[in-house]
Amino acid sequence: MDRHVSDMKPESWLVAAGREPAPGAPLNVPLVPASNFIIGSGREYARDDGTPTWEALETIIGGLEHGHAVAFASGMAAIAAVFDQLHAGAVVALPTDCYQGVAGLAAAGAQRGRWSVQLLAVDDTAGWIDACARADLIWLESPSNPLLTVADLAAICAAPRKPGALVAVDNTFATPLNQQPLALGADISLQSATKFIGGHSDLLAGVATTSDPRLWAALKTSRELTGATPGTLEAFLAARGARTLAVRLQRAQATAQLLAERLAAHPRVLLVRYPGLPSHPTYATAQRVLKGFGTIISFDVRGGAAAADQVCQAVRLIHHATSLGAVESTIERRAAIPGQQHLPPSLLRLSVGIEDADDLWADLSSALAAIEATP
């Protein structure tokens, strides 16, 4: 690349970055299925030195977030690498509403005495600012999963910190196009590339990005020592998927706004959680810190868990499946997932894809009507 990311809009960087500009080179960095390399170039062993395929993905995401990225085998592998930076007896500040994998990892470490955990509501800005002075890791997730609460990242990241404390933000739901944690002052921004970056439900990968060279080196060392390296095919697919992130996100979140508004007016829906609705508790914060409101909607249906399960079974265009951020729309009842029993039993998490908005609404309204027809 002859131009720096600062010279381009993010939409252009996604398409242009991570390519080899030499004459005769392939337009896309190819799959390099190699574990070792001829000695002399500085690259000898893939686990230690990476591969051109991984580096293409890291270039795309690192530039997009104005930092240096490290690709991992999964989002959880990237998360574990961040927790791996903690010293014995560290204090971790964690949201009460967060991804169950993070909650499980934090609980397991606490049980072994590796660290202690302090839980805070995502929108408790004063509590987070106070925690910054005492905790060794401030772990933020915004919007949160699955209640979609938006944290005031700018205020929290700007708060005075305990010496050596890290602020890490799981930016998966927002993506780097809607939120820039490093620019707000966070030390690490996390992406589950399985979701929006890959965008096609066909890979597992994670990326951690930082603007601190020492922290970047530490994350790479953690990847090396734990063997949490991305697969060649997965890295290739994630880089290819990232090329269309901007257009996928733009379409899907426009549809999500429309569906959220229609769901909020439906008689069989008790509550809709979407940051783009004025009724959302953190709507004002979302307007201030997010460039877009995302593609995830959580809503509660009347009739409890049984009614929510009926909706999942009745949809036809939307898929009853877990995960999110892909071209196809998916729906699931989150309280049915182990470790998520604290959530409202009738809460459905809808990940809006790129299908036609009216077709999606027809599918949803038909599924809700099926509940109405049930005795």
pLDDT tens figures, 332-365: 999 998 888 889 999 999 999 999 999 999 999 9
**Residues 238, 266: one domain?**
no
Average pLDDT of span 6-28: 90
Q: Is residue 146 within 8 Å of residue 163, measured between CB atoms?
A: no
Out of 242, 270, 293, a domain closes at 242
Q: Is residue 84 within 8 Å of residue 203, measured between CB atoms?
A: no
Q: Is residue 196 within 8 Å of residue 172, measured between CB atoms?
A: yes
Q: Are strands 206-210 and 68-72 parallel, antiparallel or unpaired?
A: antiparallel
CATH code for position 344 = 3.90.1150.10
Active-site entry in 97, 123, 152, 170: 170
Whole-Å CA distances, 31 to 23, 86, 131, 165: 19, 34, 44, 38
Residue 268 appears among annotated catalytic residues = no
Active-site entry in 19, 43, 47, 262: 47
**Residues 61, 174: one domain?**
yes
Active-site entry in 152, 161, 187, 195: 195
pTM score of the predicted model: 0.95
Out of 242, 271, 291, a domain closes at 242
Residue 162 appears among annotated catalytic residues = no
Residue 47 appears among annotated catalytic residues = yes
Residue 339's domain spans which residues?
249-372
Q: What are the strands, taking DSSP E only, across the chain?
A: 68-72, 90-95, 115-120, 137-141, 166-170, 188-192, 206-210, 269-273, 296-301, 319-320, 330-333, 347-351
Out of 211, 242, 273, a domain closes at 242
Looking at the structure of the chain, the number of domains it has is 2
The dihedral region occupied by 94, where left means phi > 0, alpha psi between -120 and 50, and beta the remainder, is: beta
**Residues 228, 258: one domain?**
no
- Residue 317 is predicted with a pLDDT of 98
pLDDT tens figures, 48-69: 999 999 999 999 999 999 999 9
**Residues 111, 218: one domain?**
yes
CATH code for position 62 = 3.40.640.10
Residue 333 appears among annotated catalytic residues = no
